[in-house]
Amino acid sequence: PARAAVLGASKSALCARPARGAAARPVHAARKVAAEVRMTAAGGSAAGKGQPAGSPATASTTTVGFFFALWYLFNVVFNIVNKKTLNMWSYPWTLSTVQLGVGALYCSLAWLFGLRVKPNVTWGMIKAMVLPAFGHTLGHVMSCLSFSLVAISFTHIVKSAEPVFGAAMAGLVLKETYPFTVYLTLIPICLGVALSSASELTFTMAGFATAMASNFAFALRNVFSKITMSEYKKDPTMTPANNYGLITIMSFLMELPLCLYFDKGIPSLAATKGAFPEATVLKYLLASSLLYHLYNEVSYSALDNVSPITFSVGNTIKRVIIILTSIIVFRTKILPLNAIGSVTAILGTFLYSSAKAKAVPSK
């Protein structure tokens, strides 16, 4: 029916005689009408699936599957390589800074050689990105510190509590509130993290605290982005990849002096925890840095092509895969209570994301 409507509209516009004194533009009229009919047909198709017109959910299955496959692959491999790097060379401040620096170089070269459209950067945009970049910087380095102190699986369980901080920050800063049922889903998250922490064999207070600090920092980043970046999101050059690229560059510049202070300069690659060749440490350092940028950049693209509910499901599955893979690769011992807590926390995260995506916030 939509195709027939387009053909009919085009034929009518081409055959219509213009009024006296008016410029005859039949081809332009046909194209305009046909475009409107196509938009209507697309909107009807999306609405029939429960999605608004122009929703990310209308992206092709192939495109979505491609982004999700890359996202999972880069993320899982990054977590393994990152932990192995920290096991050899325990300088999380420097490692996290290099990861941001490699990402900044990657984006800069892509813009320089015309591999992607250059963003329209203004002083106003730079000022608007300062706070989100600060939150991103703090969240990234705290995550890296936690990875260096405890098992990957435990850090990810604690990081599943990020929605708790997100809900609190949205209520306190943005004055956004959700139905009571949404906040009920935070209970299994808190319970699961508590059970997992109580039975975690690699538990340290520093590892737990830094993971929690990363949750707080990333919640700050999201809130700051809503406050300061809203007017720049309409810019066609501010694609998800460019947005993340600019934040990465600013975060690198922010963390560099902190890295030099806390690690007392630039650590030597020979300062390892064992007899590891410097070339091996360098390979792992660069690999983890490139993988870190790629998985974050792809996650932005994945979010841009699907609905929030689909992304929350994908994010939950991703976290489960990372936890299971890290347990197998590093032979992490898991007690029954720890396993129950992990499942409870991850399930709570999924329930919260799904409930929040369906709810309408009030102010």
Question: Rounded distance, CA 341 to CA 338, Å?
Answer: 5
Average pLDDT of every residue of the chain: 84
Q: Give me the sign of the Cα torsion angle 346, 312, 143, 288.
A: positive
Which pLDDT score is estimated for 306?
78
Whether 202 contacts 148, CB under 8 Å:
no
Which pLDDT score is estimated for 114?
93
Interior/surface letters 125-161, b for 16+ CB within 10 angstroms, e for the rest: beebbebbbbbbbbbbbbbbbbbbbbbbbbbbbbbbb
Q: Please, which residues have CB within 8 angstroms of residue 216's CB and are 6 or more apart in sequence?
A: 165
Q: What is the pLDDT of residues 284-315, one digit of tens each?
A: 999 999 999 999 988 888 877 777 677 777 88
Which pLDDT score is estimated for 311?
77
Question: Rounded distance, CA 139 to CA 309, Å?
Answer: 24
Separation of CA 289 from chain center: 16
Which pLDDT score is estimated for 17?
45
Which pLDDT score is estimated for 316?
82
Which pLDDT score is estimated for 129?
95
Q: Give me the sign of the Cα torsion angle 51, 305, 66, 144.
A: negative
What's the predicted TM-score (pTM) here?
0.79
Question: Rounded distance, CA 261 to CA 265, Å?
Answer: 6
Question: Rounded distance, CA 86 to CA 42, Å?
Answer: 50
Q: Please, which residues have CB within 8 angstroms of residue 73's CB and are 6 or more apart in sequence?
A: none
Question: Rounded distance, CA 128 to CA 137, Å?
Answer: 15
Question: Rounded distance, CA 272 to CA 278, Å?
Answer: 9
Q: What is the pLDDT of residues 13-51, one digit of tens each?
A: 444 444 444 444 444 444 443 444 343 333 333 333 344
Which pLDDT score is estimated for 259?
95
Whether 158 contacts 193, CB under 8 Å:
yes
205 token code pair: 């207070």
Whether 51 contacts 310, CB under 8 Å:
no
Whether 353 contacts 182, CB under 8 Å:
no
List 362's β-bridge partners, or say none.
Answer: 177
Which pLDDT score is estimated for 59?
59
Separation of CA 133 from chain center: 14
Q: What is the pLDDT of residues 138-156, one digit of tens each?
A: 999 999 999 999 999 999 9
CB atoms within 10 A of CB 16: 12
List 177's β-bridge partners, or say none.
Answer: 362
Domain-wise residue ranges, the chain: 61-358
Half-sphere exposure of 70 (CA within 13 A, CB side): 18
Residue ranges of the chain whose pLDDT lies below 50: 1-7, 9-58
DSSP 3-49: HHHHHHHHHHHHHPPPPTTS---HHHHHHHHHHHHHHHHHHHHHHHT
Which pLDDT score is estimated for 134?
97
